[in-house]
Amino acid sequence: MKDRTTDLHIAVDIALQGPHQRVTLCQARRGVRFWLKRVERFAPHLWLVKGKPEQAFERDRSSHQFLLKYGAPVPRILAEGKGYIAVEHAGASLTRLSKDKSVTMAGKLMACRAAGQALARLHGMGLAHGRPAFRDMCWDGRQIRFIDFEYFVATKAGRLRKARDLSIAILSALSQGSTGPRFAYNVLSAYYAAWDRNPKALPVPCPVQVQNGQPRF
């Protein structure tokens, strides 16, 4: 276990010394794959349009930590430090999967149904992702996990934010070429089936408490 941790930290250090890339897929010597995510670098005049990169990064990191603690389907954070996080590889994004010719249509539709169910479960927990496009949902052959939480807000999500999430997922499915409508249908039907089948099994959203002016779960 200790060897594995050391191995991972060596791989993180090597990647950090390499050219600055905001998101990179890395591999430790023992084969563990992870994504190194770093603060974006762009010219200060773009801050006006995109906001401060450090703030965007910290929002993503703290939301990711929150979702992990909350038991939401997100990949583990394997290591972190100033300006970076190393995140477990969660499989292919649905964008990549839907273009992959080696994956059968049945396999792609299964992933789309899992995405609909995962979104319903997240919403059942009283949370919304913020922008669950196909590129931010990953499939490893067993489960869907969400990534990229720049638009996540840690307050109880109402009907509007959930509807917005679902619309984004469906729009993203529809944009995946000629099979887009089939993907969209499978995401949507699995989403509603998850609610209809067992709505009581989904966690009941708890009322939001306010502490120091900040909403808390």
Ligand X SMILES: Nc1ncnc2c1ncn2[C@@H]1O[C@H](COP(=O)(O)OP(=O)(O)O)[C@@H](O)[C@H]1O
Strands (E) located in 39-191: 77-81, 84-88, 92-93, 137-139, 144-146
Under the binding rule (CB under 6 A), the answer on residue 129 touching ligand X is: no
User: Which of 35, 146, 152, 191 is the binder for ligand X (CB under 6 A)?
Assistant: 35
Joined tokens for residue 185: 């249908």
User: Which of 136, 157, 168, 188 is the binder for Mg ion (CB under 5 A)?
Assistant: 136
**Do 54 and 44 form a contact (C-beta atoms < 8 A)?**
no
User: Which of 90, 120, 125, 169 is the binder for ligand X (CB under 6 A)?
Assistant: 90
Least separation in angstroms between CB 88 and ligand X: 6
By DSSP bridging, strand 137-139 and strand 84-88 are unpaired
Binding at 165: pick from Mg ion, ligand X, none (beta carbon under 5-8 Å per type): none
Under the binding rule (CB under 6 A), the answer on residue 75 touching ligand X is: yes
Determine the interface stretch with ligand X among 61-69, 88-96, 106-114, 195-203 (rule: CB under 6 A): 88-96
Of 126 and 128, which has the nearer Cβ to ligand X? 128
**Do 112 and 183 form a contact (C-beta atoms < 8 A)?**
yes
Binding at 183: pick from ligand X, Mg ion, none (beta carbon under 5-8 Å per type): none
Of 135 and 182, which has the nearer Cβ to Mg ion? 135
**Do 79 and 86 form a contact (C-beta atoms < 8 A)?**
yes
Joined tokens for residue 84: 């970076």
User: Reduced to 3 states, what is the DSSP secondary structure of residue 18?
Assistant: coil
Determine the interface stretch with ligand X among 11-19, 106-114, 130-138, 206-214 (rule: CB under 6 A): 130-138
The Cα 135–Cα 209 span in angstroms is: 33
**Do 139 and 97 form a contact (C-beta atoms < 8 A)?**
yes
Under the binding rule (CB under 6 A), the answer on residue 115 touching ligand X is: no
Determine the interface stretch with Mg ion among 52-60, 87-95, 96-104, 148-156 (rule: CB under 5 A): 148-156
- For 180, counting Cβ atoms within 10 Å of its Cβ (0-12 exposed, 13-18 middle, 19+ buried), the class is middle
Task: Give the distance, in angstroms, between the CA of residue 172 and the centroid of all CA atoms in the same chain.
Answer: 14
Binding at 161: pick from ligand X, Mg ion, none (beta carbon under 5-8 Å per type): none
By CB under 5 A, name the binding residues for Mg ion: 136, 148
| Residues engaged in binding ligand X (CB under 6 A) | 23, 35, 37, 75, 87, 89-90, 93, 135-136, 138, 147-148
